[in-house]
């Protein structure tokens, strides 16, 4: 160190400092790779491992596990046993069974009534069609309260009709069957009645659906003293067979059939059969009939 020229060393040091401040530290040269040793004689060199061989095969790649479903919510705790709820449940089940049985019974009743009314309509409709052509004589005489006899009458015209039950249900059932007909003879009656008997005769003519005219005689005070009633020998008669779906029975009401006035019968749907309808037809024609033996008369 003592033998070194200081001025030159100082200048070289200052130059190095200047270069460091301007250019930074000097770059270090990369070290030369060490020479690979040759394999021993008689042994093969190790094969180079390719990059693709280092990666696992695609078929060996394990898929990512699926996301597990969230666990189900915990079950609610069982309700505490209650004798009140148990009784209500039992009553509800019993009511459902009872309602089902009632509905089945009502449906069966409706079907029986429907069949009976349908059979009656078909029979009466066929009957009046034949009678409207034949116009047979009426066998019996209608006595009008002992003051006029409607006799020697013949069948003039008739018509059968029906009505279906109205309701929201798609199934429609017969509700009633009707028959209207008219008997008449070519003659008239003329009856004179004084007050107050004339009012009684007038009411009887109205009640029995007999068309009439009157000629009144009044006194000086414009009061009716007497009247002359004129009416034809004509009877307007008919019947109604109606369903009572609540009781499962039928009501038969006749008006001016066989005689003046109203008669009523109560019967089960099973009572309507061919024989019963024939007996009803004989009653309409004024022939001997067993209708009172077949049906229960109520009025």
Measured CA to CA, the distance from residue 106 to residue 235 in angstroms comes to: 39
- Whole-number percent of the chain with pLDDT over 70: 72
Statement: residue 270 has pLDDT above 80: yes
The band of 48, judged by pLDDT with boundaries at 50, 70 and 90, is very low
The band of 210, judged by pLDDT with boundaries at 50, 70 and 90, is very high
CA angle 5, 8, 11 (to 5 degrees): 145
Q: What is the pLDDT of residue 129?
A: 98
Catalogue the E-assigned strands of the chain.
142-144, 148-150, 154-164, 174-194, 213-218, 224-244, 249-255, 262-267, 296-297
Statement: residue 225 has pLDDT above 70: yes
The token pair at 193 is 């009645």
297 or 66, greater pLDDT: 297
The band of 5, judged by pLDDT with boundaries at 50, 70 and 90, is low
Q: What is the pLDDT of residue 40?
A: 47
- Cis peptide bond N-terminal to 281, omega within 30: no
Task: Supply the mean pLDDT for the chain.
Answer: 83
Measured CA to CA, the distance from residue 60 to residue 65 in angstroms comes to: 15
Torsion from C-alpha of 144, 145, 146, 148, nearest 10 degrees: -30
The token pair at 290 is 């067993």
Mean pLDDT of 59-85: 66
Q: What is the pLDDT of residue 68?
A: 65
249 strand-pairing partners: 244
Q: What is the pLDDT of residue 235?
A: 98
Measured CA to CA, the distance from residue 179 to residue 162 in angstroms comes to: 9
Q: What is the pLDDT of residue 52?
A: 45
DSSP per residue over 98-140, as a string?
HHHHHHHHHHHHHHHHHHHHHHHHHHHHHHHHHHHHH-PBP-S
Q: For the CA atoms of the chain, what is the radius of gyration?
A: 59
The band of 108, judged by pLDDT with boundaries at 50, 70 and 90, is confident
Pick from 212, 219, 239: which is nearest to 147 by CA?
212
Q: Each residue of 135-190: pLDDT tens digit?
A: 999 989 999 999 999 999 999 999 999 999 875 567 789 999 999 999 999 999 99
Q: Please state, as a whole number, how many other Cβ atoms lie within 10 Å of the Cβ of residue 193.
A: 17
202-221 in b/e form (b: 16+ CB < 10 A) is: eeebeebebebeeeeeeeee
79 or 281, greater pLDDT: 281
Contact (Cβ atoms closer than 8 angstroms) between residue 144 and residue 172: no
Between 60-64, 214-218, 293-297, the lowest mean confidence (pLDDT) is in 60-64
The token pair at 59 is 């078929």
Between 68-72, 95-99, 149-153, 280-284, the lowest mean confidence (pLDDT) is in 68-72
């Amino acid at each position: 160190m003592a033998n070194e020229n200081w001025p030159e060393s100082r200048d070289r040091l200052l130059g190095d400092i200047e270069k460091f401040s301007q250019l930074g530290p000097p770059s270090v040269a990369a070290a030369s790779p060490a020479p690979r040793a040759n394999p021993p004689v008689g042994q093969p060199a190790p094969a180079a491992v390719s990059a693709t061989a280092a990666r696992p095969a695609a078929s060996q790649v394990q898929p990512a596990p699926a996301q597990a479903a969230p666990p189900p919510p915990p079950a609610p705790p069982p309700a505490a046993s209650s004798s009140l709820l148990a009784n209500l449940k039992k009553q509800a089940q019993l009511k459902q069974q009872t309602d089902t049985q009632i509905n089945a019974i009502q449906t069966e009743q409706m079907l029986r009534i429907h069949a009976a009314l349908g059979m009656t309509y078909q029979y009466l409709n066929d009957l009046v069609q034949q009678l409207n052509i034949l116009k047979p004589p009426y066998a019996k005489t209608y006595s009008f309260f002992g003051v006029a006899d409607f006799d020697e009458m013949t069948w003039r015209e008739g018509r059968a009709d029906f009505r279906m039950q109205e309701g929201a249900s798609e199934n429609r059932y017969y509700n009633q069957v009707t028959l209207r007909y008219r008997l008449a003879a070519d003659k008239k009656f003329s009856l004179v009645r004084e007050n107050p008997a004339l009012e009684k005769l007038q009411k009887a003519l109205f009640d029995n659906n007999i068309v009439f005219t009157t000629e009144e005689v009044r006194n000086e005070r414009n009061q009716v003293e007497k009247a002359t009633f004129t009416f034809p020998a004509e009877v307007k008669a008919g019947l109604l067979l109606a369903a009572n779906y609540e009781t499962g029975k039928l009501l038969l009401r006749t008006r001016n059939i066989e005689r003046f006035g109203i008669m009523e019968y109560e019967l089960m749907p099973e009572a309507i059969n061919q024989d019963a309808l024939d007996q009803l037809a004989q009653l309409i024609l004024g022939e001997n009939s067993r209708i009172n033996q077949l049906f229960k008369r109520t009025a």
